[in-house]
Structure 1
Amino acid sequence: MTRPRFHLSGPARSRRPLVVAVLLLVALVATGCVRFPAPDAPPPTATAGPLVLPGVQTDVPVEPPPSSEACNATLTLRPPAQMPAPGRMPPNSTMAGIFERGRLIVGLDIGSNLFSFRDPISGDIEGFDVDIAREIAGAIFGDPNRVEFQVLSSAQRIDALRDKTVDVVIKTMSITCDRLRDISFSAPYYVASQRILSFRNSNIVGPSQLADKRVCAARGTTSIGRMQSIQPRVRIVSTTTWADCLVLMQQGQVDAVTSDDAILAGLAAQDPWVRVVGPSLGEEFYGVGIPKGEDDMVRFVNGVLERARATGRWQQIRDRWLTILDSGFGAPQPYYRD
């Protein structure tokens, strides 16, 4: 398990995400960590050579596709009729325990550009998911910066919630019926569409061109099973982070990446030779992961999200980080089961 990393930062910078991505790109190129092909050169060809990144698994066995939503996975608990004031959490509640500790522990990663990444200039962890975490911290403490970020891989998210080493996971985590057996979720805070990232001058424009091609996805995500069900001849390569997928693509070790459009947009912002292509392969509803049995925390987080929608704060967060996407679903509407 990755050791917790404590991070308290000052007010969020106003710089545009694209500037951050460009600065990061320049730094990487200067150190020789990333190499781009010439604009007119053909895309790298995937090879069977050794993969130098740690944690890479080639030819991932077939995984089941995401379960149908017969369980109405996005149905959630209604928020309190009146939210408690910051610093005045209900006695003996999950939120009171977090307040007494003095910080909210949030599981995320730093390899999902635009959603959660480390600013190369300030060193701060920033992004859409980070701002959602700060909204929750602000509602508990009255201070959005009282957050400790614990860096997790996609495969570690559920275990971290079951072990209660984190209070919540906010890491582009899709709400699914399978995951609801082990953890709880808030109402959706973002809706994404799974798509494909390919080189601009390749002929890959959809899943039909991925037969016998190597396609990268982060381990422990729903993207793998869905792609295998749509294109049975795909050869999945899994990595620990989405940033690793981009590196493998740049090295010519894989032909494409598949994930949610928001994640792929973050990768595309770092490399001018790649693009997001193809139709939607399925919608994903991101939710805040919460330990099973902490229904008071589910209701509280839902109240935070409800207020963010009503006040326009959600739209402000989206406008700050996701303007690179040419379309969007807007703030998802919650559906309560009680």
Structure 2
Amino acid sequence: MRPRRCSASGGRRRAVASVMICLAICLVATGCVRFAAPSSPPPIAFGVQPSPAGAETDVAREPAPNSENCDATVSLRPGPMPVPAQMPIRSTMADILGRGRLIVGLDIGSNLFSFRDPITGDIQGFDVDIARAISKAIFDEPGTIEYRVLSSAERTQALVDHSVDVVVKTMSITCDRTREVSFSSPYYAASQRILATQMSGITGPDQLAGKRVCAARGATSIGRIQSIEPRVRMVTTTTWADCLVMMQQAQVDAATTDDAILAGLAEQDPWVRLVGPSLGEEYYGVGIPKGQDDMVRFVNGVLDQLRTSGQWYQMYNRWLSILGPSSGPPIPVYRD
């Protein structure tokens, strides 16, 4: 009997079937075949971001700065400057020279004015350069300084109890403060502004009714914004950096203080920006204990040297150029 022959077409069909079976086995083995997973939504968790230590909400109304006219920025005329390291006998400067260091009150959280460099650990900024100029005029050495870190609310008391020689910490010269401490002539003029997130819709004080607005405790900006928009909900913190943290955590809607401080905060977060017009001017002065008129005249002499030598502009260009071209330092006015 002759053997049956398979047709060519039948052989091809069997070959194709074998290939398909092999492919199916390979796909399953290699995980190429995927099956829809059952619905499994992620667990829902609720949490509250902790507020910075010392934060206070819905604080009481404060008076606007310089609501009375007292010519707060008028200061004492500088006299002849002594040779560095040779201070007049029985002067405040001689006492500082004898101690061997200038004690300066400031903070390390005001970016651009006084902050700690994260790489070197050095305290730097515009206010620090002012302090170093005072130190150089006394000791002939700019680094003979002991820094005391103060919050905004602690500045005046530190001068009253003489725990520091000077405060160089974005300290605005106001009528209220001149009752307790003395000031140099102004070394910087700032404008109060508002800092808000780019998506907040806040463009000025008109949008702040019922909004939570942050400021460092003891700042003059609190009373001013409350007088401009009485319905604002003020939140106060220990430092300006805390205000930025609360904005990032959506615990406040905005922050307000001087433009130079806000610019330093904006440098740290690209999602916030300065908005709105100037809400008022602030003049920074070096705080000095009451009754130390010789030190006031001496510091004013140092500031005069910074203005006339061009060093003030160098300091501005190094630290504050983000604010744009400067119109120059404030012109001092002396009462004698």
TM-score (structure 2 length as normaliser): 0.85
Per-residue CA distance 1:201-257 (angstroms, 9 max, x = gap): 221010000100000000001000000000011000000000000000000000000
1:55 aligns with 2:54: yes
Task: Choose the corresponding residue for 2:282, options 281, 284, 303.
Answer: 284
Q: Which residue of 2 aligns with 1:105?
A: 103
The secondary structure found in structure 1 opposite 2:129 is helix
Distance in 1 (alpha carbons) for counterparts of 2:225 and 2:300: 31
Give the residue type in structure 1 aligned to 2:114. Answer: S
Distance in 1 (alpha carbons) for counterparts of 2:208 and 2:271: 19
Q: Which residue of 2 aligns with 1:201?
A: 199
Q: Within 5 Å, give how 1:161-176 maps onto structure 2.
A: 161-176=159-174
Distance in 2 (alpha carbons) for counterparts of 1:233 and 1:328: 34
Q: Which residue of 2 aligns with 1:73?
A: 72
1:51 CA drift (Å): 4.2
Q: Which residue of 1 aligns with 2:220?
A: 222
Q: 2:148 touches 2:164 (CA, 8 Å); kept in 1?
A: yes
| Structure 1, 228-237 or 65-74: larger mean CA deviation | 65-74
Q: 1:69 touches 1:176 (CA, 8 Å); kept in 2?
A: no
Distance in 1 (alpha carbons) for counterparts of 2:195 and 2:96: 39
Task: Choose the corresponding residue for 1:121, options 119, 122, 139.
Answer: 119
Q: 2:49 touches 2:249 (CA, 8 Å); kept in 1?
A: no
Give the residue type in structure 1 aligned to 2:203. Answer: V
Give the residue type in structure 2 aligned to 1:262. Answer: A
Task: Choose the corresponding residue for 2:305, options 293, 307, 312.
Answer: 307
The secondary structure found in structure 2 opposite 1:159 is helix
Distance in 1 (alpha carbons) for counterparts of 2:200 and 2:87: 55
May I ask how many residue pairs the two structures share in their alignment?
Answer: 290
Q: 1:51 touches 1:253 (CA, 8 Å); kept in 2?
A: no
Q: Which residue of 1 aligns with 2:175?
A: 177
Q: 2:193 touches 2:256 (CA, 8 Å); kept in 1?
A: yes
Give the residue type in structure 1 aligned to 2:334. Answer: Y
Give the residue type in structure 1 aligned to 2:78. Answer: P
Distance in 1 (alpha carbons) for counterparts of 2:299 and 2:58: 39
Give the residue type in structure 1 aligned to 2:142. Answer: P
Q: 2:181 touches 2:288 (CA, 8 Å); kept in 1?
A: yes
Q: 2:181 touches 2:290 (CA, 8 Å); kept in 1?
A: yes
Per-residue CA distance 1:98-153 (angstroms, 9 max, x = gap): 00011100000011000000000000000000000000000000000001100000
1:200 CA drift (Å): 1.4
Give the residue type in structure 1 aligned to 2:315. Answer: I
Q: 1:191 touches 1:329 (CA, 8 Å); kept in 2?
A: no
Q: Which residue of 1 aligns with 2:150?
A: 152
The secondary structure found in structure 1 opposite 2:56 is coil
Give the residue type in structure 1 aligned to 2:86. Answer: R
Give the residue type in structure 1 aligned to 2:158. Answer: A
Distance in 1 (alpha carbons) for counterparts of 2:109 and 2:309: 30
- Structure 2 gap ranges (5+): 1-47
TM-score (structure 1 length as normaliser): 0.84
Give the residue type in structure 1 aligned to 2:220. Answer: T
Q: 1:60 touches 1:236 (CA, 8 Å); kept in 2?
A: yes
Q: Within 5 Å, give how 1:227-266 maps onto structure 2.
A: 227-266=225-264
Q: Which residue of 1 aligns with 2:211?
A: 213
Compared with structure 1, are the counterparts of its residues 328 and 213 closer, same or farther at alpha carbon in structure 2 (3 Å cutoff)?
Answer: farther
Compared with structure 1, are the counterparts of its residues 69 and 300 closer, same or farther at alpha carbon in structure 2 (3 Å cutoff)?
Answer: farther
1:274 CA drift (Å): 0.5
Give the residue type in structure 2 aligned to 1:325. Answer: L
| Bigger Rg over Cα | 2
Q: Which residue of 2 aligns with 1:331?
A: 329
